[in-house]
Amino acid sequence: MNYSLEFGGDPQDLTMTLTGALDARSIRAFVEDLISHPEYRAGMLILADISGLNTSGVSLEEYESVSAVISGRDDRFPAKAIAIVAPPGRTYDDAMQHRAYVGGSKSGREVFRSRADAAAWLATRR
């Protein structure tokens, strides 16, 4: 899995772009890099673009492990809102399942099929 972090933007404070094949080891490394970044803080508006992420190789156990790692990040640095951009199909379904796993609408996450819709929703959270 590959990823990039871009701090700043409008309306988001952070854009995370994840591509390639998702696996538990890579997501752990991503979360460690994210929480150690000096610009990362609680209360951010986050745009998470996973439209280039392939989740098809993730087992149920790995999926639960990935969600647990992300939940741990949320406990330490809760975001104000997270807009997830996912393509139709398995990745979108997995994003919806992750949203449910971490608390559904109470998690401050929404899943979108387009970046424009995700940004528009984030703008309402500012």
Largest CA distance in the chain: 36
Q: Which of 112, 108, 113 is nearest to 125 (CA)?
A: 108
pLDDT digits (tens, 9 = 90+) for 1-45: 999 999 999 999 999 999 999 887 888 888 889 888 999 999 999
Residues, the chain: 126
Q: Which helix (H) or strand (E) holds 14?
A: strand 14-21
What pLDDT was estimated at residue 104? 85
Indicate the average pLDDT of the chain: 89
Euclidean distance between CA atoms 71 and 108, whole angstroms: 12
3.40.50.720, 3.50.50.60, 3.30.750.24, 3.40.50.970: CATH of 2-123: 3.30.750.24
Q: Which of 86, 11, 80 is nearest to 50 (CA)?
A: 86
What pLDDT was estimated at residue 63? 67
